[in-house]
Copies of this chain bind each other. A is one copy, B any other.
Amino acid sequence: MEKNLTLYEKVREDILSGKFGENEKMTEIKLAKKYEVSRTPIREVLKQLEFEYLVKDGYIYKPSPEDYRNLFEMRTLIETHAIEKAILLFGPSDINDLKNSIEKAYAGPEDETLAANKYFHDKLISSIRNPFLSETYERMNSIIYLFSRTVVERQRPNLIEEHAQIVGAIEERDVEKGKRLIGEHLDKDLEFSLYYM
């Protein structure tokens, strides 16, 4: 199975796997040589990476704890909104999808747990049915991935149980409870990861 990654995917993977130093300068010329393309496509890629908070002002972006808290404030705002919508819109089939992702997260090895947890949050976001809000959320995917990896690898307590509780609130159609739970859940992810990162 040959991986045929786009230039963007290659650079993104290299950043997420830590192949660049924190705050390393991302000059077009250097990257063009490294990936054996011209500056033109590198520029496009850098724009995309800036969009998703991996690069800033020509450097690898190392957000401060304050930056991460602000990003999570935006994330929480959107996911909290999503819970409201999910309680209005989700039927048994959708709720079953959420439950299945919880089962998979319990059972699987780390990378499957990671994928299952991502599915859980993405499924919630899908309830919004708003491409602009979805894009704003997806823009944080790389950052969210880094946090998710940390909480799974470091085995944050109650991680998956909290997902189950959130599904419970959706089943009960308890908006206030759902909003509170998702807020607490994300806040724990944030503070737990900040401690280790």
Contact = CB atoms under 8 A, between A and B. Distances in A.
B78 A130 contact: no
Interface in A92-141: 130-133, 136
The majority secondary structure among interface residues of chain A is helix
Interface of A: 47, 67, 70-71, 73-74, 77-78, 81, 130-133, 136
A89 to B, nearest CB: 14
A132 B78 CA distance: 13
Given A70-B131, A77-B77, 17 more contacts: A47-B47, A67-B132, A70-B130, A70-B132, A70-B133, A71-B132, A73-B130, A73-B132, A73-B133, A74-B130, A74-B132, A74-B133, A74-B136, A77-B78, A77-B81, A77-B133, A136-B136
A92 to B, nearest CB: 26
Nearest to A70: B130
Nearest to A73: B130
Contacts of A136: 74, 136
A73 B132 CA distance: 9
A42 B72 CA distance: 34
Contacts of A78: 77
A39 to B, nearest CB: 11
